[in-house]
Structure 1
Amino acid sequence: MKPADWKEKMAKYNGVFKEPPRNVPSNKVVDGPIIGNGDVGVVISGLPERQRLWISKVDFWKAKRIWPNGSPCLLGGIDIQIPALKEASYGAEQHLHDAKVVSTFRGDSLAVTMTSWVAAEENAVIVELLSESQEDISVKVDLWVQSGHESETDSGQDGDVDWVLRKFTGSDLDWPTEGTVAMRCLGNSSNSFELQPGKKTYIVAYVLTNHNVKDYVRESIEKAKLIDESRIDSLYADHENWWSQFWAKSSIEIGDEVLEKFWYGSHYIMACCSRNKAFPPGLFGSWITTDTPAWGGDYHLNYNYQAPWWGVYSSNHIELSEPYDTPLLQYMSNGRKYAEQYLECSGIYYDVGIGPKGFPNALSITNASLTYEHGHLFLGQKSNAALTAVNMLMRYYYTYDMQYASQVAYPYLIEVANFWEDYLTFEGNRYVIYRDAIHEVPTWEASHSNDEWLKEFEDMNPLLSLGLIRSVFKGLLDMSKELSLNSERREKWLHILEHISDLPTYERDGKTIFRLTEQGRDWWPDNTLAIQHIWPAGAIGLDSDPKLLEIAQNTITVLNRWTDYNGFPTIFTAAARVGYDPEIILRELRRQCLEHSFPNLFIFFGGGGIECCSGVPSAINEMLMQSHEHVIRLFPVWPQEKAAHFTNLRAVGAFIVSSELSNEMVSYVDIISEAGRTCRVFNPWPDEVICIKEIDGDQQKKIDWKLFENIISFNTEAGKRYTLRRKTQSV
């Protein structure tokens, strides 16, 4: 699709602002227009006469230990003052198709348009001002830097370039962070100038840190000097091409503009903040507007860090997940040390919160933490490392990238398995988990008695960990066979899988539902812990025992928590995974999008930020197509009378699938095989004669296939396309 076509298609999904933002600055999610290139993030706030661009960067961290000192911090920004716009009307649109914000300010006799974007391929921030007024308008531009919080700052000029510098370099830091913004106003000798009618004026900035290049100040200044109107045109051509290719990777049409808007909007947010492979975004992405983001803005491993990417795998945006693994791998030496020192286990044992570059930011000096957790914030949980492995398993199964498996996923899963092999207790012909809290034990509080503390730590067989162990050891067995590694260990892994304790259940509200632990806490009133073994852990699916599916559906009914402080990325996808009523899922998902969102398409709840970016994509994708049990099911949890269409969603087995539901029937199925694996499809036409063809360029040929228990299976070749049709249809 050409860029102009994407512009027309995506226009209805743009973020629309009718008043200035109210939640900037914020220590959580911002509500202003946002732009970014996966490294540099910009949020725009302010009244028409004083627009402020807040500039942050995913690698701009203060690496000071003892929670919550270490966190991503604000770098600086640009103020654009146009006094003549006082009392002007405010309007802005956040364009998804090319990641630009177009702000329009109108007074009685003047109008100014401000267009802002961050170049997709470079750390250049571009602001274009255009006046439709009859007279010149005075403009003053100020470059500013955040100060305080034990940082050093500096500023200066080099020709027509202004620059600011902020750095954290104290001896008490694990590593230094230094960053700069270099800015110039094109065609103007100073930062105060007259905006002439009909003539575009540009403000440009370049943003770098010491994590990009050693001489980052000089480099940013020189880069800013090189930007002229010709360079802007070139940057925009590359920018537009990047976003056009991004949107071409997958699409949906489901007859619900609200859900479509947040499906695309969620991918937009992730593409704007998750492309720096060395520094993934923290809790609030690349839009940090204070030095004290909530929860340290870190990588919270008991669900929040993992959640943002859960939608990108099935949406065929694997590239957005590439930063995810980096801090987990960098933390392994710490994890090994903690497992050995504190639990006398091999493998890895991770804190609830970690930082980049092996930075242990979740250390604590509270009496409770020192007494019970060696000065850490494990918060009683042993499951964090296993939960981080879920994303690696998703990426592996969706791509069957054997290089990724051998170099990243498998070595990491081995360490997770090493831990659980040592930590599990085998008794009474089953494996049991002791002293693993289902929920955070609040070691930062000091009001609990010792007896209460110990009780909090005594959870036995927590539901989530039981689900994670099933996924981790199943994944290890599969990966071990594919890579021909550690065959001598498979018997043990299989034994764990076959003898791990059953998922605990109990009676509540007249229904059999899942219990949070076998012994310990039975329920939690304001969280979705009772379904996270379903999603993301993947312990239950449509092929599971019908009684288990009934218990899962009962749990969701009793949970009745479509609105939740922390559960948005889990509840809807879990409901789809176990075949819950699709009308209810869609109705409640739509309601949450309308009631808990900002105009910038952030969906927000109390407990997090970019984690909510997976809620709509993963749920909708799972309703349109499921494949986690290695069988592609088309529209398995979708109202059959509701037309829907999707293009290039990714299925387990490294298959790219397109299909349509129309007139209560699947119209067609197109499948691209990336890895040449056997493809298995739940038969969408059980009473029809089916034809399967292999497409290779202009060549077509029929292929043989088998049908067993209503599952179609056929062999594929990597790079080939396959079409499934009823006999009466043509390709």
Structure 2
Amino acid sequence: MKIVVRLFSLLLTFIVWHHAGYGQNHLKLWYQQPAKTWNEALPIGNGRLAAMVFSNPQTETLQLNEETVWAGEPGNNIPSTGFAESLPEIQRLIFADEYEQAHKLAMQKIPRSPAKDNNYGMPYQPVGNVLIDFPTHQHVTDYHRELDISKAIQSTTYTANGVTYTREVFTSFTDQVVVVRLTASKKQSITCSISVECPHREVSIEVGNKTIGLSGTSGSKDNKKGKVKFVTQVQPVLEGGTLTSSDTALHINRATAITVFISIGTNFKSYNDLSENPLEKATKYLNDAKQKPYKVLKDSHIEYYRKFFNRVSLDLGTTAAANKPTDVRLSEFHAGNDPHFVTLIFQFGRYLLISSSQPGTQPANLQGKWNDKIAPPWDSKYTVNINTEMNYWPAEVTNLPEMHQSLFNMLHELEITGKESASKLYKARGWNLHHNTDLWRITGPVDGAFYGLWPMGGAWLSQHIWQHYLYSGDLRFLETHYSILKGAALFYHDILVEEPTNKWLMVVPSMSPENHHRPDISIAAGTTMDNQLVFDVFSNFIEASSLLNRDFELRDSVKIDCNRLPPMQIGKHSQLQEWLKDWDDPNDKHRHVSHLYGLYPSNQISPYRNYILFQAARNSLEYRGDQSTGWSMGWKVNLWARLLDGDRAYKLIRDQLTPALENTNNAGGTYPNLLDAHPPFQIDGNFGVTSGIAEMLVQSHDGAVHLLPALPAAWKSGSIAGLRTRGGFTIDLSWKDSKIKSIRVTSSLGGNFRIRSHSSLTDKRLKKSIGDNVNPFFKSPEIKTPLVSAAAKFNSISSLKAIYEYDFQTKPNETYTFDFGN
């Protein structure tokens, strides 16, 4: 009888699910109207190419990008204003508390506007638009457009004049072209015109018998002349109908189906070489692709994409809200009950990372690879005081480590150009980078001394090398990228300055990114984030050199330096100090929370190893507030997850998933196409919320694999499969009534697996943990005891939830399953 009842229940569930249409909309962004603005259009990409699809019935617009179309030309941006010679005086003024004078001197050497022989970085620029005009499709019914992120396919359907029309668009991962497929329910029903437009000044458009060719040159800025040449070819392949041309367009009459191929090539070969032939590249991509049937193109594209995307699944439950259009779900999410929308935004972040950062491509920039402006906000460069790093937070944990490769490649190039800034600006060995770079791998300060005098970009970016090693255990990878870690450590070994009072070693001058400790003055010594970053740089180098048995003398010197770094400090407001001195203002709502780097993404602050620091970090985050820019709220999801507060992390998700208004500088949120709003659009917020959701469910930074560390009350039951942890483990996890129901662990390296849980687990294979985790990938950092203000006050450690820890031994390439019942 129980079996019959169970079968009936399953059948009823299927009927309800099918009736509500949940299966259709499971991992789709969909809408009942075309995009009116760029922030409503849908993004597609293959790492190299990107497009925004507007899906207007009368005129389809495909706004195109190719990742190497940037203004300017090869060359660094090291100022020749005598900064290195002024450095000792700037340091003296800072230590004498003469910050205004230090600021003035620094601004003379690195002014707001670059000198004539220098620049502050080049903008990422669009290629142009392909327009497909359907003159008789003015009045339509049954309109539907969607982006299926389980396939990386965008599609549009509608009915006009009694005929149902379908468009499918994708940027092929396997054939390196944009493919547009036009079909109709009635033969010989497709009549349209195809044209192109381009916003660049140097551009030529030629219409041939079968192909439209667009060629152009990127823009100039500051002291750099635009030298990236690009070629776009657009060619329709008809099934039935006729093709003619005019001076401005290709004209198709009464076709049954059309496949439009869009190919783009540039002269870019590397950051210092523009010797490729753009026409040959574009022509080869086009000719190779058009030889294949559409189904072959589409199937190979989906197969390639899914080998990455399908590694992770998430189920947080589904309600009737999941059957609504995406823009409606967004507008109702904050006050509604739509747990599946969290699944959608989580997977959308993974979709965007796969689509903007393939192996062999450029890394994802401030807007991924999607930009329609010649002069985009912040140039759409690589802002490396948080934003570029944030783009790659999901890479390891959400099982997309291959997407990290483009960042690693850029690091090797920055290692080369960064030697110039290290030697010329600081008279140091090794390499460094300030807070911005671009396609040309500039490493000098950007935006003047107020924002740009932060020589820590290389320190933060290099953490991604070490994190990839901790997740993969790949010693060959570590050996290949070891010079990056060594060069970063060598730079700080050379530039650290002794602070007069406590004899600490610190970076001077620097700043706490984009914040200021008094009106319009940011320059400082030994900021908390700098100290945390240098600690990680030194620690990573010490571990890597030991593993690879290299650089004994330098390692010993770096160990001495590391022991002389300042400890973290807790100020009079019971906060983690942002600066070396207790300057924090509890009313400061700045979007950057840089001093909390030690909490996330680093692991220097732990509830179980240094509870006072943990509380101080929480106090700092409380003071800073929840409402902010979109990317800042995305960072805070991760921070609250590390603070083990699932409900607060979930509140930040809800705040971030608030509709953003067009053309305003109001607080951040999310646009109708689910792209993150600073505002305007920045993609890092999408990646931040994806990594934050993963952090809420699985953490592995604090000596164990912590399961459900920050589970909110809203997610009482659910499952996730495919998340990765340090030590080469892959985790499948399900829970019910907020307690772990089952665990499936796959070990690629073997070794001890330590589970941390907020509920007790019973299985004879699990042994209660004793002492530190013997698995070296879970080694905890040994930080200094913090200095605490006499005015600081803290709660008892008893306010933490109880934890249970268990060990079991694993073998390489083995899978272990634990079922703890209902």
Query: With structure 2 as the length reference, what TM-score do the two structures score?
Result: 0.76
Code of the aligned partner of 1:58: E
Aligned-partner Cα distance in 2 for 1:11–1:484: 53
Contact 1:41 1:287 survives alignment (8 Å):
yes
| Structure 1 match to 2:348 | 265
- Structure 1 residue 175 displacement after superposition: 8.5
Whether 1:192 and 2:251 are equivalent positions in the alignment is yes
- Structure 1 residue 527 displacement after superposition: 1.5
Contact 1:35 1:272 survives alignment (8 Å):
yes
Whether 1:61 and 2:111 are equivalent positions in the alignment is no
Identify if the C-alpha distance between structure 1 residues 546 and 68 changes in structure 2 by more than 3 Å, giving closer, same or farther.
Answer: closer
What are the Cα deviations for residues 169-201 of structure 1, in whole angstroms up to 9, with x where unaligned? Answer: 9897588422222121212433212345xx322
| Structure 2 match to 1:456 | 522
What are the Cα deviations for residues 503-523 of structure 1, in whole angstroms up to 9, with x where unaligned? Answer: 233234xxx112210238524
- Structure 1 residue 283 displacement after superposition: 1.0
| Structure 2 match to 1:419 | 491
| Matched pairs, number | 676
| Structure 1 match to 2:265 | 208
| Structure 1 match to 2:214 | 164
Whether 1:525 and 2:589 are equivalent positions in the alignment is yes
Contact 1:390 1:472 survives alignment (8 Å):
yes
- Structure 1 residue 472 displacement after superposition: 2.1
Identify if the C-alpha distance between structure 1 residues 557 and 195 changes in structure 2 by more than 3 Å, giving closer, same or farther.
Answer: farther
Unaligned runs of 5+ in 1: 25-29, 443-450, 693-704
- Structure 1 residue 93 displacement after superposition: 0.7
Code of the aligned partner of 1:417: A
Aligned-partner Cα distance in 2 for 1:315–1:396: 15
| Structure 1 match to 2:41 | 32
What are the Cα deviations for residues 587-632 of structure 1, in whole angstroms up to 9, with x where unaligned? Answer: 3312322432223321222376121122222111111111012411
Contact 2:627 2:633 survives alignment (8 Å):
yes
Contact 1:55 1:75 survives alignment (8 Å):
yes
Q: How does 1:442-521 map to 2 (within 5 A)?
A: 455-457=521-523, 459-508=524-573, 512-519=574-581
Aligned-partner Cα distance in 2 for 1:120–1:184: 19
| Structure 2 match to 1:335 | 418
Aligned-partner Cα distance in 2 for 1:319–1:247: 12
Aligned-partner Cα distance in 1 for 2:287–2:346: 38
- Structure 1 residue 159 displacement after superposition: 5.1
Aligned-partner Cα distance in 1 for 2:298–2:56: 27
Of residues 235-244 and 712-721 in structure 1, the stretch that sits farther from structure 2 once superposed is 712-721
- Structure 1 residue 139 displacement after superposition: 1.0
Question: Which residue of the other structure, out of 647, 654, 659, is the alignment partner of 1:583?
Answer: 647
Whether 1:610 and 2:683 are equivalent positions in the alignment is yes
Whether 1:600 and 2:673 are equivalent positions in the alignment is yes
- Structure 1 residue 226 displacement after superposition: 4.9
Identify if the C-alpha distance between structure 1 residues 564 and 414 changes in structure 2 by more than 3 Å, giving closer, same or farther.
Answer: same
Identify if the C-alpha distance between structure 1 residues 35 and 185 changes in structure 2 by more than 3 Å, giving closer, same or farther.
Answer: same
Whether 1:719 and 2:810 are equivalent positions in the alignment is no
SS in 2 for 1:48: coil
| Structure 1 match to 2:231 | 180
Whether 1:12 and 2:50 are equivalent positions in the alignment is no
Aligned-partner Cα distance in 2 for 1:39–1:690: 50
SS in 2 for 1:186: strand
Code of the aligned partner of 1:74: P
Aligned-partner Cα distance in 2 for 1:52–1:16: 17
| Structure 2 match to 1:558 | 623
Identify if the C-alpha distance between structure 1 residues 361 and 118 changes in structure 2 by more than 3 Å, giving closer, same or farther.
Answer: farther
Aligned-partner Cα distance in 2 for 1:10–1:522: 51
- Structure 1 residue 426 displacement after superposition: 3.9
Question: Which residue of the other structure, out of 406, 431, 437, is the alignment partner of 1:348?
Answer: 431
Contact 1:258 1:590 survives alignment (8 Å):
no
Aligned-partner Cα distance in 1 for 2:730–2:761: 26
Identify if the C-alpha distance between structure 1 residues 460 and 607 changes in structure 2 by more than 3 Å, giving closer, same or farther.
Answer: farther
SS in 1 for 2:366: coil
Identify if the C-alpha distance between structure 1 residues 566 and 612 changes in structure 2 by more than 3 Å, giving closer, same or farther.
Answer: closer
Q: How does 1:69-80 map to 2 (within 5 A)?
A: 70-80=122-132
Code of the aligned partner of 1:577: R
Aligned-partner Cα distance in 1 for 2:680–2:726: 30
Aligned-partner Cα distance in 1 for 2:536–2:589: 26
SS in 2 for 1:557: helix
Question: Which residue of the other structure, out of 680, 701, 711, is the alignment partner of 1:638?
Answer: 711
Code of the aligned partner of 2:177: A
- Structure 1 residue 113 displacement after superposition: 2.1
SS in 2 for 1:289: coil
Code of the aligned partner of 1:464: M
Code of the aligned partner of 2:733: S
- Structure 1 residue 263 displacement after superposition: 0.2
- Structure 1 residue 491 displacement after superposition: 3.6
| Structure 1 match to 2:475 | 402
Contact 1:15 1:599 survives alignment (8 Å):
no
SS in 2 for 1:214: coil
Q: How does 1:141-152 map to 2 (within 5 A)?
A: 141-148=194-201, 152=202
What are the Cα deviations for residues 556-583 of structure 1, in whole angstroms up to 9, with x where unaligned? Answer: 222222433651332110111122x212
Code of the aligned partner of 1:189: L
Aligned-partner Cα distance in 2 for 1:225–1:343: 51
Of residues 199-208 and 134-143 in structure 1, the stretch that sits farther from structure 2 once superposed is 134-143
Code of the aligned partner of 2:364: P
Whether 1:242 and 2:304 are equivalent positions in the alignment is yes
Aligned Cα root-mean-square deviation (Å) = 3.1
Query: With structure 1 as the length reference, what TM-score do the two structures score?
Result: 0.85
- Structure 1 residue 223 displacement after superposition: 4.1
Aligned-partner Cα distance in 2 for 1:672–1:558: 41
Aligned-partner Cα distance in 2 for 1:543–1:607: 39
| Structure 2 match to 1:698 | none
Identify if the C-alpha distance between structure 1 residues 295 and 404 changes in structure 2 by more than 3 Å, giving closer, same or farther.
Answer: same
Aligned-partner Cα distance in 1 for 2:229–2:25: 38
SS in 2 for 1:207: strand
Identify if the C-alpha distance between structure 1 residues 558 and 121 changes in structure 2 by more than 3 Å, giving closer, same or farther.
Answer: same
- Structure 1 residue 650 displacement after superposition: 0.6
Identify if the C-alpha distance between structure 1 residues 487 and 227 changes in structure 2 by more than 3 Å, giving closer, same or farther.
Answer: closer
Whether 1:139 and 2:211 are equivalent positions in the alignment is no
Whether 1:534 and 2:599 are equivalent positions in the alignment is yes
- Structure 1 residue 310 displacement after superposition: 0.5
Contact 2:435 2:446 survives alignment (8 Å):
no
SS in 2 for 1:117: strand
SS in 1 for 2:169: strand
Question: Which residue of the other structure, out of 123, 147, 162, is the alignment partner of 2:176?
Answer: 123
- Structure 1 residue 414 displacement after superposition: 1.4
Aligned-partner Cα distance in 1 for 2:40–2:541: 42
Whether 1:392 and 2:465 are equivalent positions in the alignment is yes
Unaligned runs of 5+ in 2: 1-17, 78-117, 245-249, 270-274, 318-338, 660-668, 772-803
Aligned-partner Cα distance in 2 for 1:416–1:293: 31
Aligned-partner Cα distance in 2 for 1:189–1:541: 67
Aligned-partner Cα distance in 1 for 2:409–2:701: 25
Code of the aligned partner of 1:718: P
Aligned-partner Cα distance in 2 for 1:666–1:675: 25
Identify if the C-alpha distance between structure 1 residues 94 and 233 changes in structure 2 by more than 3 Å, giving closer, same or farther.
Answer: same
Contact 1:253 1:644 survives alignment (8 Å):
yes
| Structure 1 match to 2:406 | 323
Aligned-partner Cα distance in 1 for 2:228–2:24: 38
| Structure 2 match to 1:27 | none
Contact 2:633 2:655 survives alignment (8 Å):
no
What are the Cα deviations for residues 476-505 of structure 1, in whole angstroms up to 9, with x where unaligned? Answer: 232222222233344443344444212233
Contact 2:55 2:156 survives alignment (8 Å):
no
- Structure 1 residue 163 displacement after superposition: 1.7
Question: Which residue of the other structure, out of 15, 21, 27, is the alignment partner of 2:35?
Answer: 21
Question: Which residue of the other structure, out of 770, 793, 796, is the alignment partner of 1:708?
Answer: 770
Q: How does 1:544-555 map to 2 (within 5 A)?
A: 544-555=609-620
Q: How does 1:283-322 map to 2 (within 5 A)?
A: 283-322=366-405
Of residues 186-195 and 75-84 in structure 1, the stretch that sits farther from structure 2 once superposed is 186-195
SS in 2 for 1:55: strand
